[in-house]
Amino acid sequence: MEILSTFSFKDLIAFAVPVIITALFFNRRRKRKSIRVNCSFLFIVLSVGSALEIWGNIYETFSYRNNHLYNNDKFTTVFNYDIPKIVFFSIIIVASITLFIQEVRIRKTLL
């Protein structure tokens, strides 16, 4: 529960924006059953870029520069991570993979 108290109102709005945009894209495509613009490469780039951003955030915090072996006054725990940033990019990954799968399924039915 302490983790949830680290989220500010701005963080919650930032989490809601990609969810709302994804829902709008998903519903519009589902109703039309057609795709006007090919965005599959964009969704792949978004998911890979977000995964790299999460990995970079975790690695930077857990790296030797911040580890207790090299810096005795600071011990690395899960609470040192930028949790809102990790959650935001996780939402981006889920949204982009969802839209990518939907695009692939619609393209299969059109062929």
Could you report the per-residue pLDDT of 86-109, keeping only the tens digit for each? 899 999 999 999 999 999 998 888
d(CA 109, CA 40): 16
Per-residue pLDDT tens digits for 43-91: 999 999 999 999 988 887 776 555 555 555 555 555 567 888 889 999 9
Distances from the Cα of 100 to the Cα of 22, 33, 63, angstroms = 11, 14, 33
